[in-house]
Amino acid sequence: RVHVDVCIGMRANMRPLQRKKRRRNIWKVWMGLALAMGGILLLAFARKGSLMRTEPHGEGPVESCPRKPRSANRDGVAMERRNLMDVEIVTLSDGWKMPTVGFGTAGLGVHTQQAVEWALEAGYRHIDSAQARAWYREDLVGKALLEQQGRIARESVFLTSKLHPLHFGYNETIAQFQRSLKELNTTYLDLFLLHYPNCTPNLCGDATPKGTWKDTWRALEYLHGQGRIRSLGVSNFSPQQTMELLNFAEVCPVVLQAYSDPMSNNVELQDLCAREGIQFVAYSSFGIQWILRGAKTNPVLESPLIRRIAQKNNCSAGGAVIAWAHAQGQVVIPRSSKRERIRANFQEKCRLTGQDVVEINALNKRGA
């Protein structure tokens, strides 16, 4: 009996010790979890802005662009434009890589999904879209990407969108960016542009945006820092507006998209881009803007000079224009709803001589 009482007493004395040991073990587990979470947060903070640097399109930037100076040639001496005639991929100044021929989706309407699928099948890996619903259908671009998902990895497609100026403002920009991600069925964008610098009546009617492009740029810089946008840029900015942006930005624009064709070459803006390390992306390279302005025929594709040069080099007029644009250092984003034309714009390799380029340059603002 004495032995039994002693055993019972020992068990009673051990229970508090066991509870204390259990509490210490639980406390150690919680401390371990807290330290692990803290390490993860510190790592994420240290790598802020570089969360997607291992994908195939490039290793990306190591730091943001300093405010001043942004160019070794800021004194006004223009850098020579790079000839991209034999270049399929160009490296942007922030380190990301952009295919030199993209597929434009403006004005395709209900045919957008089919046209984008044909473009991807033809080999395009650069798709240009925007939020402006009057001209673009991002939802259909997203459906095309989703349809091709099993065959073409998202990481292999350079995807661009643009913010409508109606949505200028810090919070509005972030909300609209999220909408683009949802419609395009993606978690990030390779390039995001301000579509226009101002909200004109033609673009916005009587509506007034909640902020300015400067408010929006700060929002884009935040999204860039989060790794949601790889590269930033603008569209339809004048040289003066571009310089204002360069003096304002903490993360510099690396792309400027604007209208350029052989009859209206936008030389001043191209020279500014070369001087500041900004890649010029041309839209409407084939002269469609002339038709939209009331011309009865397309003076670019119908130009006797361009047709003669194309025939001499065994290519189409469109192929000659793309080669000329590449010789200017331009990335191009031709669009079409016709399958054969889509394929030809990407696959036709037209080579021009230096003299060919000089002769086409002479068409600038001549309209002939």
The span from the CA of 60 to the CA of 43, in Å, is 18
pLDDT of residue 25: 65
Q: SS3 sequence, 176-218?
A: HHHHHHHHCCCCCEEEEEECCCCCCHHHHCCCCCCCCHHHHHH
Task: Say yes or no to pLDDT of 115 above 90.
Answer: yes
Task: Say yes or no to pLDDT of 152 above 50.
Answer: yes
Q: Active-site residues: which are they?
A: 136
Residue-wise pLDDT tens digits, 297-336: 999 999 999 999 999 999 999 999 999 999 999 999 999 9
pLDDT of residue 365: 75
pLDDT band at 32 (very low <50, low <70, confident <90, very high): low
Task: Say yes or no to pLDDT of 3 above 90.
Answer: no
Structure letter (DSSP) for residue 264? B
pLDDT of residue 80: 63
Q: Give Cβ neighbours of residue 11 (< 8 Å, ≥ 6 apart).
A: none
pTM for this model (two decimals) = 0.80
* β partners of residue 185: none
Q: Hey, what are 204's tokens?
A: 């916005």
Residue-wise pLDDT tens digits, 202-250: 899 889 999 999 999 999 999 999 999 999 999 999 999 999 999 999 9
Burial (CB < 10 A; 0-12, 13-18, 19+), residue 55, is middle
- b/e per residue 242-279 (b: at least 16 CB within 10 A): beebbeebebbbbbbbbbbbbbbbbeebbbbbbbbbbb
Query: For the ranges 73-77, 88-92, 94-98, 329-333, which has the lowest average pLDDT?
Result: 73-77
Task: Say yes or no to pLDDT of 12 above 90.
Answer: no
pLDDT of residue 104: 98
Residue 304: enclosing H or E segment and its boundaries?
helix 304-312
pLDDT of residue 260: 97
Q: Which of 68-72, 226-230, 292-296 has the highest mean pLDDT?
A: 226-230
Strand pairing category for 158-163 and 189-194: parallel
Task: Say yes or no to pLDDT of 34 above 70.
Answer: no
Residues 280/331, Cβ–Cβ less than 8 Å: yes
What mean pLDDT is predicted for residues 174-201? Answer: 96
What is the SS3 assignment for 230?
A: strand
Residues above pLDDT 90, as percent of the chain: 70
Residues 29/35, Cβ–Cβ less than 8 Å: no
DSSP 79-128: PPPPP-TT-SEEE-TTS-EEESB-EE-TT-GGGHHHHHHHHHHHT--EEE
What mean pLDDT is predicted for residues 58-62? Answer: 44
* β partners of residue 97: 91
Task: Say yes or no to pLDDT of 367 above 50.
Answer: no
Place of tokens 């964008």: 189
CA distances from 259 to 225, 265, 287 (A): 29, 8, 9
Residues above pLDDT 70, as percent of the chain: 77
Residues 195/132, Cβ–Cβ less than 8 Å: yes
The residue type at 221: E
Q: Give Cβ neighbours of residue 234 (< 8 Å, ≥ 6 apart).
A: 193, 194, 197, 241, 242, 245, 253, 255, 256, 257
pLDDT band at 56 (very low <50, low <70, confident <90, very high): very low
Place of tokens 């993860």: 40
What is the SS3 assignment for 13?
A: helix
pLDDT of residue 45: 41
CA distances from 106 to 25, 68, 86, 120, 255 (A): 63, 36, 26, 16, 18
